[in-house]
Structure 1
Amino acid sequence: MAEAKQPYLNGAFYGPSIPSVSHHPSRGRGCGCGCCLLSFLLKIVIFVVFLVCLAFFLFWLVFRPKVVKFHVTDAALRRFDLNTATNMLDYDLPMNLTIRNPNKHIGIYYDRLEASAFYEDQRLVTIPLPNFYQGHKNTTTLNLHFKGQKMVGLQASDLEKYNSQNSSGAFNIDVKLYLRIRFKLRDLKTHKFKPKIKCDLKVPLQTSGSFETERCDIDW
């Protein structure tokens, strides 16, 4: 008896089904819309920073802004007497301060000025100064006058310094200026800046010698 022939297979697979592969939305397509938006914003920030830096560079290249200079040109202690029994310091200190604006195209509005005198890190007095506008390549002289009485808490080492300075005829006085200013370039005015000016001075007694001009430091 002849064997029965196997039926012809057309190539189809009749085994167990092959599981389908699911594609997660975040796979194969980068990091999604969130990362694309973050990358776009980062490019905008970098571009804006570049434009700001370029603008500052062009501003400096065209106008070449120079630093304003502060000098104490004259100062003398008419009186600087310490009563050691009461720790009361009696002082009288007039001085001249010059402000030089060396810029050709930039003016300066001094909207607020205050000056304070210190001895051994102790504030003696704070005085207000008139506000004003300073034009191009201009030197302005301010007359400061610190006068009054102040109770000071000097330690033994500070008393030794006072006696030593009194014998030498000159005292170490610090003067600080607190400013609120704006710069003007043609019709453009900047926002307000608040620099601090510090002048470390060696001020002679009026009867002991002459004062040498001192340059002050600027802290922006």
Structure 2
Amino acid sequence: MTTKDCGHDDDDHSGGGGGFFRLIIGALLFLIFIVLFVVFLIWLILRPTKPRFILQDATIYSFNVTSPNTLTATFQVTLATRNPNQRIGVYYERVDVFASYHNQQITLPTRLPPTYQGHKDVIVWSPFLYGISVPVAPYLGMSLQEDQNSGLVYMNIKIDGRVKWKVGTWISGKYRLNVVCPAYITFGGKGNNGNNGNNGNNPGLGFNTAIKYQLASGCHVDV
């Protein structure tokens, strides 16, 4: 009898432990479900959308091939960004703008001032971009010569930054911002749709006459 009683006690303890374990698992699953539901509900209410960027224009002050593999360039670009969100603000904490040619950076990064962008707000920046005697890869030197012959240069204006989201009084952590804006610049006296060009004294890519190009180019944005 004593042996049988001990056996029943072991079964009771084992069943009780298993039930407690199942209770903990069920509570954790319920908690995970609640968290996911709250996140989904917040997303459904806020509908977060990344900012939109447009490269409005570019003024070229100099773009000179000073040697077969060296480039000197000075630009001023106008960038507009719009926050499409109705309930989310954007903090631009660190934003660098630079120009690239065939994925090679050809100007120093220009740091923009920290800015807060409210709901549906539009911000316009007009930074200067400088690159003095920037060495380029040999194959890019050949590409520049081809561009000189065609009278058209394709480059990108890029933005590398950090942003934070603001919802009410809550502010998120930092997120990486990458923006690429294509820019097609004409040279060699052909101008921009017949409205711009150099004065004919400096054919090809090398010139020092300020020329403004209206671009209105949409940008690709990754956050």
Normalized against structure 1, the TM-score is what?
0.73
Q: Which amino acid aligns with 1:129?
A: L
**Bigger Rg, which one:** 1
3-state SS in 2 of match to 1:213: strand
Gaps of 5+ in 1: 1-22
- Matched-pair contact (CA < 8 Å) for 2:50–2:221: no
Query: CA 1:178 to 1:36, structure 2 compared with 1: closer, same or farther past 3 Å?
Result: farther
Gaps of 5+ in 2: 1-6, 193-212
Query: CA 1:51 to 1:122, structure 2 compared with 1: closer, same or farther past 3 Å?
Result: same
Paired position in structure 1 for 2:164: 182
* CA-atom RMSD in angstroms: 3.0
Paired position in structure 2 for 1:6: none
Report Cα offsets for 1:31-74 as digits up to 9, x if no partner. x969975x666545533432232122212322333331011111
- Matched-pair contact (CA < 8 Å) for 1:97–1:141: yes
1:127 equivalent to 2:105? Answer no
Matches within 5 A, 1:32-181: 37=21, 42-85=25-68, 87-124=69-106, 125-156=108-139, 158-181=140-163
- Matched-pair contact (CA < 8 Å) for 1:104–1:136: yes
Please state which structure has a larger fraction of its residues in helix.
2
Normalized against structure 2, the TM-score is what?
0.72
- Matched-pair contact (CA < 8 Å) for 1:91–1:149: yes
Aligned residues: 194
Paired position in structure 2 for 1:7: none
- Matched-pair contact (CA < 8 Å) for 2:66–2:133: no
Alpha-carbon distance in structure 2 between the residues aligned to 1:92 and 1:202? 16
